[in-house]
Every structure is written in structure tokens, then in C-alpha cells.
Amino acid sequence: MNRETSRDLYDRALDVLVGGVNSAVRAAPQPYPTFVRTGDGGHVVDADGNRYVDWVMGLGPLLLGHDLPDAVEAGVQRRTSEGPMYGLPTELEIEHAEFLARHVPSVEMVRYVNSGTEATTSAVRLARGHTGRDKIVVMQSGYHGAQESTLVEGDSEDHGPSSAGIPAAFAEHTIPVPFNDTDAVTEVFEAHGDDIACVLVEPILANKGIVAPVDGYHETLRDLTRDHGALLVWDEVITGFRVGGLGCAQSKYGITPDLTTFGKVIGGGYPVGAIGGRTDLMEEFTPVGDVFQAGTFSGHPVTMAAGLETLEYAAENDVYEHVNDLGRQLRGGLQAVVAAVADDLYRAAVAGNRRLPWLLVDEAHACATGVAADAIETLYTRGRAPGASVVLATQRPSALPEVAVSQSDLLVAHRLTAGKDVDALAATRPTYLAESLAERLPARTGDALVVDDATETVCSVRVRERRTEHHGGERVVDHGETTA
């Protein structure tokens, strides 16, 4: 495949754009990004004329793909021909807001902004202004845009900014907790409940793969916030008008948050963000209340036209049924492929009298998708090859299938990444080694197949293992070189 033009464009871009891109994630493809020339239905064509299936779809906004229906395209063109913008209100803003309020359970009033980041920033400010409190609770590995209040890493006891340029004092007011861990968030409210302004949460964690909520988790967040006088803020920038259809994810899960943030789909491919919620909360924004919020391009007429036409088309046609059916086909196909690969690995291990490869997965990400779960099930339920050894890396052992825990040689309560010092990582959660499985581990040496969900690569690793005395025994794993 010829990609010379993309390479040349990237070289030019490096001279005038920071990192050659205008959003850091676009620099992720290596050795250089693919520069797109045009979209075509469900495909994009790059600067060299190569055609790709577009799995990105603008990172979410393009619900209808690149070829807009005639009604949507006509509405956008008509509004564009009437002038780019005015700095004054238009009827389109009202119509768009009426659509949101009509379909989304939590929305009575709306304030439009220009991005998801701006929406979550404004929602947090509103929650703090309403409650008179400073602290907010967010999820570890969640994402709410490039804002100072949520660019925080760590846990509830030890956390700090995840980016340079953010004062440590900002991070002191943000408490990260594990998604789907009701005990952890309950403990945080027991310790800080009177100081918490809001819980900001994605209904489905989307920044580390797709992590669905366990039964009862969102109900727990709703109860905790209500009992402690805090607000529940759902970030539906990604899930809004995608998961759960016109009612968004909150209709799917039967939870009504106090505030909801939107973006992506509601702009029909144009820059947009919005905050929606109860009237008594929303009217605390200026000019009615004292929480300042404003923006030159907010409610931009072209964006309002594109978004409203897109949403109305989705409402009047079977868009969500069609999209969900495509998703089911894709998930089913991926699960079948992974199950077949797991079956091949098992048969090869038995035929060669080799122990099974290690399967290292971050269960909160991979098992929730159902894909890795199929691989685990195949590897375990088929029986163990002679001398088989399986290691699972997990952030929450309680969420793993019982068969996985009972038949694992080692359960490491930490995410492991190929090529890093496993012993150092495992040492951060030594109790699981000491109290769960370490005492059962024999000394072995061999090859391992590591599935690294952080980079979505599969590496072959030569490992050496030894036993040491530490609270009943500790597994020490030394990594050699890794090869992709």
C-alpha cells in the first residue's frame, strides 16, 4: 500500500503543527498518521487514494456516516447560505433544545457549548456552585475532556494531576475511584460525603475499551449522591443518542441523573457540546443565576441545523435498529475469531505436550467486552494440558469467572504490561500473592504469550520464575526481551 503522500504531509505538518496534529490522539498511529482526503459512506479515502473501512467515524459524531441523507445535507446548506453566525439567538437553538428535552429523561433545560470538554467543565462548575462544595468524584481510567478538574490519576488515597501544567491543589479536590466498585465509592462518601459536589461518570466507561456497568452500580451512585446532597452528573458525550437510542444511556439503564453532558452526535459532525438537567439547577447558570457560563460560538446556527436534522432523521427512520444490528454482527464475529484462536492454542499445547500460554488480561476492560471472556472460558473448560500454567492480571479479582480464579496458577491483582517488570507491578498489590494463590505456585520456566490490552499487541515473552519466602510465598517473574 502506497502512503507516501501521508508521510510527506506529516513531515510538513511537523513544521507548523505541534506534533503534526491538532489532537494528541491523532498522532497515535505509527510511524505517522493517515491523512484523509474524503469520506464516502462507511469509508474514508486517504491522501494517497487508499480506501479504508472507517471504524472511527470522527470519534463518535458521525451517526449517519459520511454520506448524509438529502434532508440533512439540504438543511445544513440552507443554514450556511443564510450567513455563518450572528452572535444573537436563533429559533434553531430552541428547536434543538426542545428535541433534547422531549426525548432525554433528565433534561428540562439546556445550555449549549462547543465541545464535550466545555460541557463537562461547565457541569462541574455548576455542581460546585449549587452545592457550595469543592470535591468531585470521578472514575479511574474515565475521560471527561481536557479539563483541569478531571485530568487526575491515582486512587482515593493518593492522587495527583495526570498532566503537566495542572496545579496539585486542583487535583486535591478530585477523588478517583474504580468503576463498578460499590464498596470503594461508598467508602469515599463515608469519608468525604459532606464535601462532595458531584459524581461525574460515564454510564459506560469508554476510555479503556468498553466497560459496561455491573448490576446495581449506577443505582448505588444515584443513592449515594441523593443521600449526601451531591449531584449525579452523567457524561453522555459518547453514549448520548447512540446507546439507548433517543433516550440515551440513561433510558437504557433506568437512571435519571441531575445533570447530563452531551457532544458528538448532537452536532451532526460539527463542533458542539451541551449541558442538560432540571430547571432549578440549570437556572443557576448566568444570566439567571450566579454560575458564569458563556461562549461566542455556543448554539452556532450551522451546528444546530446539522444536529437537529441528524436527530430528527434518526427519530423518523430505523437508524438505531440498523446500527445496533451491525454492532451485534461485529461483536459476534470477533468473539468467534477469538474463540477459534483460543481453541487452536489449546490443541497446539496438548499436541506438543506444552503448558498453555499465559493469558494476561485487564478484566475490567477485556472481560467486559465478552471477547476475552470467551478465550478464558475456552482455555479453562477444555481442561489443562500437562504442566499447564495460566496467569491472570486483574484489577478486581472478584469480577473474574470463578473457574478462572480457581484454575489460575497465579492471580496478580494489577494490570501487567508486556516488557515491564512484572515483579515491581505485582508488588503494588502483594496481598493477593500472599493470601490467595502464591503458596500453590511451583517453580517453572518457559514461554508465555502475553495479550497486552494497553497496546492491543500480542508479545512472545521468555520468562524465568522462582520461589521466595514472603508471607507464605511470592511469585517473582523476570521478563526477558519481548517481540511483537
**Which residues are designated catalytic?**
143, 235, 264
d(CA 235, CA 115): 12
Sequence-separated (6 or more) residues with CB below 8 Å from residue 324: none
d(CA 113, CA 296): 9
| Pairing between β-strand 457-468 and β-strand 445-452 as defined by DSSP bridges | antiparallel
d(CA 354, CA 63): 47
Query: Is the torsion defined by CA of 240, 244, 247, 249 positive or negative?
Result: negative
- Ramachandran region of residue 168, left (φ > 0), alpha (ψ -120 to 50) or beta? alpha
Q: What is the CA radius of gyration of the chain?
A: 25
Check: CB of residue 265 under 8 Å from CB of residue 58.
no
Check: CB of residue 61 under 8 Å from CB of residue 265.
yes
d(CA 419, CA 460): 10
Q: Strand, coil or helix: what is 225?
A: helix
Specify the DSSP element, H or E, that contains 457: strand 457-468
